[in-house]
Amino acid sequence: MKLLCTNVVFLLFFGASSAFAAGAPEGGTWWETWNLQVYHAINLILFIFLIVKLAGPPVVEALKARSDTVGAEIIEANRLHEEAQSMLSEYDGRLSALEAEAKGILDEYRKMGQQERDRIIKQAEVEAQRIRTESVKVAESEFSRARERIEAEVVDRAIDSAAEVIIERLSEAEHARLTSDYFVELEASLESTTEAGA
């Protein structure tokens, strides 16, 4: 209402000042001009009054409805925002839990991997020790067999050499005597064995 009164005063003053500045119309006085301005102002006031009275309540209702709608949308937006914040907090919690679980699983797999590595290393060390022991046994066995072969070969060669030397140095008579002595000793040995067995 205050705004309406201010507008009316402004229009009256503006209309009056322009009327005074223009002077009287042809064939008329300044009062007629002023009068015309007053009628225009009254028409304007009546027009504004009718608009306010007739269109005012629907406009006020529309503005109030719009204000209520905007308020409800703001409340709904705040509710959705709080809901989104709670969901975000929940997902952050889940993500933290998943990260902790993933870290735990990785630590467990690392531990299992280290245990498996240690087990494999221990098993390899045991197997290497077994192989070393077997190789030492095989080497000692081969060494013993080689030594026995060498000794047998040395003995065979010594016997062959001795036989050659004996054959070269032994005469026919000595050879016949040694052979005869050998057979006599062999017969005596067989007889003593037969008597012992009976």
Give the model's pLDDT for residue 89: 92
CA angle 147, 149, 155 (to 5 degrees): 100
Compute the radius of gyration of the chain from its Cα atoms.
69
Q: Give 10-residue mean pLDDT values along the chain (198 residues).
A: 54 50 55 78 87 80 90 93 93 89 91 92 91 89 86 81 75 78 83 73
**Residue 30 contacts residue 23 (beta carbons within 8 Å):** yes
Give the model's pLDDT for residue 71: 92
Give the model's pLDDT for residue 10: 56
